[in-house]
Structure formats: structure tokens, C-alpha cells
């Protein structure tokens, strides 16, 4: 394994971990206000972005060469970094929408998806990569 690539993914993991900890804190908000929902979505966007980039760096350290977020997710699923590729593909699609769309109904839907689907998936990845 290329030592430089090993170092790179571990550095990326550290950034991912910092973002994850913020997302984790937002998940403790019981009845978030509109501003808090915006913060939850922003924390998700950042954490998701760092998660796929961290996975890409990890895959490269293992000899793979994914070129896009979609390829990265597919390859990470194949080597069992996580269990449900559909959740990650949905997160990718929704992550792309959150950057370009904002209305209160969409924000509430995203908050629910983040809490119920995306946060648990990201948390599982966080815990799995923590041991690597």
C-alpha cells in the first residue's frame, strides 16, 4: 500500500470526524427551528462531502481508482464499507439538491431523511472507519 495514500485518507478521516461530530450534535435537537434545520442540512452537506472523499482516498490506498462520488459509493459498497448502497445513492442525490434548493417543506423533508436514513448510515461508516 502506498504510504502517502494511507496518510492522505487518514487525514481526510480526521476532517470527516470533525464534521461528523457537529452533525452528531445537531441530531440531539429534539424539535429544531427553521434556523436549526438549516444548520442540520449544512452539517449533513459537509459531512456527506467529506465522507465520500474520505472513502475515495481510502479506496485509492487499497488500489482502486474511483473517479466520481457515484463510483466511489459503488466501490465502497462492494468492499463492504457500508451495507446499503441505496441509502448512500439517495444521500448523494439529496445532497446535490440541497445545494440548489431551499423551501420550508423541502427543508423539513430533508431533516427527516437526515435523521432517519442518512445520519445512521454516516454514523455506521464513521464507526467502521474509526477502527481502520
> How do the domains of the chain map onto residue ranges?
3-130
- The total number of residues written for the chain in this structure: 132
pLDDT one-digit tens code per residue, 68-92:
999 999 999 999 999 999 999 999 9
Fold classified for 3-130: 1.20.120
pLDDT value for 97: 87
- The average pLDDT across 12-22 equals 97
CA angle 68, 8, 17 (to 5 degrees): 85
Residue pair 66/75 in contact (Cβ under 8 Å)? The answer is yes
- Model confidence at 98, in pLDDT bands (50, 70, 90)? confident
Q: Please, which pLDDT band fits residue 22 given cuts at 50, 70 and 90?
A: very high
- Predicted TM-score (pTM) of this structure: 0.93
Amino acid at each position: 500500500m502506498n504510504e502517502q495514500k494511507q496518510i492522505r485518507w487518514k487525514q481526510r478521516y480526521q476532517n470527516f470526524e470533525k464534521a461528523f461530530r457537529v452533525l452528531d450534535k445537531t441530531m440531539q435537537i429534539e424539535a429544531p427551528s427553521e434556523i436549526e434545520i438549516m444548520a442540520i442540512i449544512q452539517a449533513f452537506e459537509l459531512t456527506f462531502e467529506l465522507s465520500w472523499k474520505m472513502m475515495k482516498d481510502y479506496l485509492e490506498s487499497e488500489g482502486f481508482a474511483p473517479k466520481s462520488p457515484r463510483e466511489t459509493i459503488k466501490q465502497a459498497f462492494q468492499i463492504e464499507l457500508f451495507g446499503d448502497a441505496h441509502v448512500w445513492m439517495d444521500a448523494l442525490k439529496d445532497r446535490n439538491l440541497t445545494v440548489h434548493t431551499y423551501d420550508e417543506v423541502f427543508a423539513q423533508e430533508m431533516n427527516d431523511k437526515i435523521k432517519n436514513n442518512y445520519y445512521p448510515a454516516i454514523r455506521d461508516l464513521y464507526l467502521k472507519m474509526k477502527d481502520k
